[in-house]
Amino acid sequence: MNLNSGALAMLLPFLCCCCFFFSVPTLFAQSFDTNASSTGAAARALDALLQDYAYRAFVRPKTGVPYDGAVPSNLTGIQIAAMRLRSGSLRTRGVNMYREFRIPTGVLEQPYVERLVLVYQNLGNWSLRYYSLPNYTYLAPILGLLAYDASDLSAKNLPELDLRASGDPIRINFSDVESAPIGSVPKCVRFDLHGSVIFSNLTAPNECSTIRQGHFSIVTESVPPPSPPPEREGKESSNRRTWIIVGSVVGGVALLAFLGFLILWGRKCKQRKKMQEMEKAADVGEALHMTSVGDTKAPSATATRTQPTLENEYVP
């Protein structure tokens, strides 16, 4: 069925409103995904930058000795250190204490390298910026432990080695931990290099354990904020009423547009049906012959059914 321009004009507002309401959730989802991916990319870029500055701390490095590094001035508050080790020594002896990390024997790296560097990170007040965790509150700063190849101490943008404990886990003893709110339970959290977040229970007060490298902290679920004061409630109620009014107006316009379309469509169908009835009636009737009368034409019958009887005709 073909629609006239009036029907299309009435249908257009309804279609626009539908497209808007269906597209809003998709836009919000895309925005959320974009923010999450950009945060992960920023954290990986920070790891590469801190690896470069940690390697700069090696001037005349000694094996097994940690060296503190200096970060750029725009990252003040972050602490880094680097320690070079032999792969075999790490596996057979471990590291008794490297800052907050206690590394046991049996720790292996993949792929295998003869020497490796363990880069230590303490993100301090930058933790939340690079590792946002909705609905959770950090009780301790993010601590990082990453392993790199030590064959070239001037190299940049090195890929991390896969460091894994084959026996006892690596333990992290957090030294700067805030008290958890009353009624909340602290949890360990680990961020791996692929963006995954893993929660676990504390193995001891202020202590977490892991079998993999990554970034670690202690968190607790955020406590809902107290109820807002009456003024705030009044403002929120006013905003809510405004949105209800706007939604009602938009919905009313869409409904009117749809009803207008239905009315035009019904009128169109009624006219079409009437035309069909007239055409059918014309096809059933008998066509009249046309004859010329002077300068005009008029319908005429070809014959009459009954012959007229003359009044003066004699009938025996």
In the block, tokens 């508050």 appear at 77
Residue 231: predicted pLDDT: 58
Residue 208: predicted pLDDT: 98
Residue 10 and residue 260: Cα distance in Å, rounded? Answer: 6
- Sequential DSSP letters for 130-156: HS--TTEEESS--EEEEEEE-S-TT--
Question: Is 264 a residue whose pLDDT tops 90?
Answer: no
Residue 217 and residue 212: Cα distance in Å, rounded? Answer: 14
**Sequence-ordered alpha helix ranges (H) in the chain:** 5-55, 87-93, 127-130, 230-284
Predicted confidence (pLDDT) per residue in 124-136, tens digit: 999 999 999 999 9
Residue 249 and residue 228: Cα distance in Å, rounded? Answer: 30
**CA geometry: angle at 195 spanning 190 and 198, to 5°?**
30
Extents of the domains making up the chain: 53-221
Range in 176-185, 200-209, 302-311 the model is least confident about: 302-311
Range in 15-19, 123-127, 170-174, 192-196 the model is least confident about: 15-19
Closest CA to 199 of 181, 178, 219: 219
Paired strand residues for 218: 188
Is pTM beyond 0.75 here? no
Paired strand residues for 291: 298
Q: Which backbone phi and psi does 208 adopt, to 5 degrees?
A: -125, 165
Residue 2: predicted pLDDT: 47
**Sequence-ordered alpha helix ranges (H) in 94-200:** 127-130
**44-82 burial: b if 16+ Cβ within 10 Å, else e:** eebbebbbbbbbebbeebeeeebbebebeeebeebbbbb
DSSP type of residue 204: B
Predicted confidence (pLDDT) per residue in 24-66, tens digit: 444 433 443 444 455 689 999 999 999 999 999 999 999 999 9
Residue 84: predicted pLDDT: 98
Residue 313: predicted pLDDT: 52
Q: Is the peptide bond before 299 cis (omega within 30 degrees of 0)?
A: no
Q: Does domain 53-221 have CATH number 3.90.1690?
A: no
